[in-house]
Structures are given as structure tokens and as C-alpha cells.
Amino acid sequence: MQSIEANGATIPAIGLGTWELRGRTCARLVEQALKLGYRHIDTAQVYENEREVGEGLHASRLRRDDVFVTTKVWTTHFAPNDLARSTKDSLTRLRLSEVDLLLLHWPNPHVPLAETLGALAHVKKLGMTRHIGVSNFTVALLDEAVALCPEPLVCDQVEYHPYLDQTRVKEACARHGLALVAYSPVAKGRIKNDPTLARIGQAHRKSAAQVCLRWLVQQNVCAIPRTSRIERLSENIDIFDFTLSDEEMLEISAMGNPKGRLTDFGFAPKWD
């Protein structure tokens, strides 16, 4: 599996996203994904599935160092003491002594960013996480976070797929040496019947989803597709045996639109 290097972290390019996966389904998918060769699992406190992710990790019997595990601190836990306590709770649910990557899930303008980042760096120093990063940060917030954080950040995890132009965030990540991790990388399934991706896929004997994931990885972006179907797990990692041409890459990039966002909330920042 190809990896992306970022400020000292080595992140497997494809991971299993677990947003909206719950209970037994989640534990089984995590276990099965790891059996199929996934080495990167992404969860979050707010997904309410850390316990099941932990079960799946445990059931896989892989060595801890062989799997890259990310979790995210929810915005109501950004005050320094809350951040440390809630990270400890996440580790208990995951049955781990440390995660590989701990992210601030969304910006929270009600808590000073310097304080939250100080707390995030502190939990890293305490050994609760190997690396730290942010999620859903705009370019301005990312610049601010990089300037304020006492420890290097390694990623910004944002929504990214062919229908959403993220050029500005991608450039900001590159400028700071951060990885961009794409959530909803197949646009919540909407790319499945896309005629352009299907046509490009035919030339490579790949599905539209595989072309889409390949397009991301070829830009040095990590992708964490979520699926609740076991048969899709293999399809989503079978993208390392073909290469998209420069023309194909450009054609897919041209489909992007700043208004193609699928995940938005009242508490979201003013997007780039």
C-alpha cells in the first residue's frame, strides 16, 4: 500500500472511513478491511463507534504498529482539560494506549485556537498520540493553526472528491508540508454512475470509484472511503496497479466546483 509522508508521519494512502458505521456492522467491516490489507482506520468521538473500531482492530490480531489509527476530538471538548480527558476516554474505547493521529474535528471559534492547539500538543507529548492534525480547517484557519501550534501538524482532513474543487486547501497543505486527507472521496456514492469516470475506467478496466480514488492518490492525497458493503472494501484498495494519464487527471479535475460540497453544518467555517 502506498503511503503519504507528512511532517514525520507516514500515512497509508487509503484508509477505511467509519463515519455513520455503527455496532456489529462497524466492528465486522474494520476486521474484514484489515484482513483484506487495509492499514489505516479513521474514526471520531462523534461517530460513536470507537468501541466497535477497537473490537475490529483487536479481532484482526494485527500488531499494533502495523495499523494507522486516527480519531478526532469533538468541538465540545476543546478546552484544555476536556481535550486530554476525552482523548483518554477515546483510547479506553479503542483499547489502545495511543493513536497514530489525533485531529481537531471542526474549528470551534468559541475556544481560543492557541489553547486547544496547546492541549493537542500536550497530549502528544504525553504519548497519547503519535501525530496531531486538524479537520475541516479553511486556508486561513490552517495558516493560523500552523503558526500557533507548538508541535508540527501533519494533516487537514476535509471533504474532497471530483465534484468539489479544493485547490486552495490542497496548496495550503503542500505549503506547510501537511497531507490532505479526503473524506467522502467518492462523493457519498454519487460518482458511481458518472459518465466521465466510467469512460476513463473502461480504458483501465476499473470502476468509476476506483478511478476517483486513483485520481486522489495520484495527487498525493490520502482517501478514507466509507462503505457498509464488504464487497466494496476490496474494490476501494485495488487502485495501485494502474496510472491515470495527465489528460485524464486534468479532465477529472475540471469537473470540480466550489459549490460541490455535500457536508455542511451551521457551525462550519466560512469555506474557501
Q: Which residues are catalytic?
A: 47
Nearer to ligand 1BO among residue 242 and residue 271 (C-beta): 271
Cβ atoms of 96 and 64 closer than 8 Å: yes
Nearest approach, Cβ of residue 202 and ligand 1BO (Å)? 32
Of all residues in the shown chain, the one whose CB is closest to ligand 1BO is: 19
Angstrom CA distances, 241 to 36, 105, 263, stand at: 16, 33, 31
Nearest approach, Cβ of residue 36 and ligand 1BO (Å)? 23
Q: What does the DSSP assignment read for 157-213?
A: EEE-BTTB--HHHHHHHHHHTPEEEEESTTGGGGGGG-HHHHHHHHHHT--HHHHHH
Nearer to ligand 1BO among residue 19 and residue 271 (C-beta): 19
Is residue 271 near ligand 1BO by the rule CB under 6 A? no
Nearer to ligand 1BO among residue 228 and residue 263 (C-beta): 263
Residue 8 gets the label, from left (phi > 0), alpha (psi -120 to 50) or beta, of: left
Is residue 263 near ligand 1BO by the rule CB under 6 A? yes
* Sign of torsion over alpha carbons 109, 114, 115, 119: positive
Candidate list 183, 186, 210, 212; residue touching ligand 1BO; CB under 6 A: 183
Nearer to ligand 1BO among residue 53 and residue 211 (C-beta): 53
- Please write down the HEC assignment for all residues of 66-95: HCEEEEEECHHHCCHHHHHHHHHHHHHHHC
Nearer to ligand 1BO among residue 245 and residue 263 (C-beta): 263
Count of residues that bind ligand 1BO according to CB under 6 A: 5
In this structure, the number of other CB atoms found within 10 A of the CB of residue 115 comes to 14
Cβ atoms of 220 and 126 closer than 8 Å: no
Candidate list 3, 7, 19, 32; residue touching ligand 1BO; CB under 6 A: 19
Q: Cell 486547544 belongs to which residue?
A: 116
Interaction residues for ligand 1BO, span 37-96 (CB under 6 A):
44, 46
Is residue 243 near ligand 1BO by the rule CB under 6 A? no
Task: Provide the binding-site residues for ligand 1BO, judged by CB under 6 A.
Answer: 19, 44, 46, 183, 263
